[in-house]
Amino acid sequence: MKLAILSRAPHAYSTQRLRSAAEQRGHTVKVLNTLRFAIDLSGDEPDLQYRGRLLSDYDAILPRIGNSITYYGTAVVRQFEQMDVYTPNTANGITNSRDKLRATQILSRHGIGMPRTAFVNSRADVRMAIERVGGAPVVIKLLEGTQGIGVILAPEAKIAESIIETLHSTKQNVLIQSFISESRGRDIRALVVGDRVVAAMRRVASGDEFRSNVHRGGTVEKVALSPEFEEAAVRSAQIMGLRVAGVDMLEGKDGPLVMEVNSSPGLEGIERATGLDVAGAIVDFIDNQVAFPEIDVRQRLSVSTGYGVAELLVHTNADIVGKTLRDSGLWERDITALTLHRGTSVIPNPRSGVVLEPGDRLLCFGRLEEMRSMIPDRRKRRTKVRKLPKEAQEALTEE
Ligand SMILES: Nc1ncnc2c1ncn2[C@@H]1O[C@H](COP(=O)(O)OP(=O)(O)O)[C@@H](O)[C@H]1O
Ligand SMILES: [Mg+2]
């Protein structure tokens, strides 16, 4: 294959390793400076120029987009996606993972263990938020920090409040997160490629530092992950839309707590700690996937008027319970089942003989009108809160 590594650091360890892993395997590989691409939307088809010349054909790209150029970098990746060039990490995936709040929001609905986290704007809500995550000490994080910079441990609520107030006054948004003391300055970095963890290490903070980042003096050692940690890492990467990712987890007393998912994980620390050929695993994975460029399925399937995708729930008392997919009548209603979610397992391309059970979720493509009646009710929030008297309720409807 012909591979382009998008990077502004051609001499960095990771770039060098990826380049030589690709060369060793007989691929053509170029390291291209992300900022030297020009996005060309003037012609009939989306195109790209590099250093002022039309870009030649590539089979795949591997984006290594630094934090300081997220906007431009993801625009270039998105342009490659429009040109049907394979990328393991999509522009969306990179954007989602880069912002710690956005990542936490997306992961939170998928049952991934995470440290309790809150996000507030108003000074009046800070104290409550600290309480909600379990009280001091709390960790305060800048949304787009990396390498441990912008991660602060506040020992007391008062101090936390004044730090947050200071940061807010300089227009910086911050997360408030419970401090996972049992992890004691240690965390796990799992390198996910495709749907497996190819290498993992434990990072240990130096001295009385609580941040275990290598850039903060942390040391690394290889570690064998339990299936629970492997699954949390792989699922987090998948949910974020990243096929190459470094997933950071704390060792909480009840299992893994995912802190962040990195879309351009460094390879030096993990290859040295484990002695594994991570770069080679990444290149092999891309080589295997090249024929399958990322497709925005929902968007592509919604271009026929009146058709779209929807997730249908098999209600407990629905008349299709106990019937096979063939006899369910879906086909006659112009609905095709793409996958069947049952509990935590997924059956791709469910066969016509599969018997439907209550609680099954079918991801379907079909006529929206026919599917409307079968769409599950919106998830109800807990309604433990007492209803307010009528007047108070009316006063609350605005603002
Ligand atoms: N909630 C927390 N409890 C305990 N330690 C934490 C917590 N959040 C972060 N840390 C420590 O700080 C380090 C940096 O935090 P992280 O969210 O990964 O930011 P960065 O993007 O700067 O690496 C982590 O590797 C971990 O050692
Ligand atoms: Mg980190």
**58 and 84 share one domain:** yes
**171 and 268 share one domain:** no
Ligand 1 midpoint to CA 258 (Å): 10
Report yes or no: 261 and 234 within 8 Å, Cβ to Cβ.
no
The upper half-sphere exposure of residue 278, i.e. CA atoms within 13 Å in the direction of its Cβ, equals 29
Please state the atom number of ligand 1 nearest to the C-alpha of residue 205.
27
Report yes or no: 320 and 329 within 8 Å, Cβ to Cβ.
yes
Report yes or no: 213 and 194 within 8 Å, Cβ to Cβ.
no
In the structure encoding, which two tokens stand for residue 227, read together? 């299936």
Q: Is residue 315 part of a domain?
A: yes
Residues written for the chain: 399
- Residues near ligand 1 (Cβ within 6 A): 115, 139, 141, 145-148, 151, 177, 179-180, 183, 187, 210-213, 248, 250, 259-260
Domain with 319, as residue range(s), is: 297-372
Section 334-361 average pLDDT = 91
CA distance 265 to 251: 20
At 269, is the secondary structure helix, strand, or coil?
Answer: helix
Q: Is residue 394 part of a domain?
A: no
What residue's CA is closest to ligand 1, atom 19?
148
Q: Is 80 exceeded by the pLDDT of residue 373? A: no
pLDDT digits (tens, 9 = 90+) for 77-107: 999 999 999 999 999 999 999 999 999 999 9
Q: CA 240: distance to chain centroid?
A: 2
Please state the atom number of ligand 1 nearest to the C-alpha of residue 149.
22
Please state the atom number of ligand 1 nearest to the C-alpha of residue 177.
1
Q: Is residue 173 part of a domain?
A: yes
**64 and 123 share one domain:** no
In the structure encoding, which two tokens stand for residue 139, read together? 């960790």
Q: How many separate domains does the chain show? A: 4
Ligand 1 midpoint to CA 213 (Å): 8
pLDDT of 379 reads 66
pLDDT of 397 reads 47
pLDDT of 386 reads 54
**353 and 331 share one domain:** yes
CA distance 330 to 236: 32
CA distance 309 to 321: 21
Report yes or no: 297 and 356 within 8 Å, Cβ to Cβ.
no
Report yes or no: 248 and 113 within 8 Å, Cβ to Cβ.
no
pLDDT digits (tens, 9 = 90+) for 293-309: 777 777 888 888 899 99
Please write down the HEC assignment for all residues of 214-265: HHHCCEEEECCCCHHHHHHHHHHHHHHCECEEEEEEEEECCEEEEEEEECCC
- Boundary-marking domain end, from 70, 97, 124: 97
Strand partners, 187: 203
Per DSSP, 364 falls in state E
Ligand 2 midpoint to CA 276 (Å): 21
Identify the CATH number of the domain in which residue 320 sits.
Answer: 3.30.70.1450
Section 369-397 average pLDDT = 64
**246 and 334 share one domain:** no
Percentage of the chain lying above the pLDDT 90 cut:
75
Q: Is residue 258 part of a domain?
A: yes
Ligand 1 midpoint to CA 224 (Å): 21
Q: Is residue 29 part of a domain?
A: yes
Higher-confidence position of 268 and 392: 268
- Boundary-marking domain end, from 97, 132, 147: 97
Identify the CATH number of the domain in which residue 8 sits.
Answer: 3.40.50.20
What residue's CA is closest to ligand 1, atom 13?
211
Report yes or no: 249 and 190 within 8 Å, Cβ to Cβ.
yes
What residue's CA is closest to ligand 1, atom 7?
179
Ligand 1 midpoint to CA 141 (Å): 8
Ligand 2 midpoint to CA 360 (Å): 37
**83 and 133 share one domain:** no
Q: Is 296 exposed, middle or buried (0-12, 13-18, 19+ CB in 10 A)?
A: exposed
**260 and 340 share one domain:** no
Report yes or no: 112 and 236 within 8 Å, Cβ to Cβ.
yes
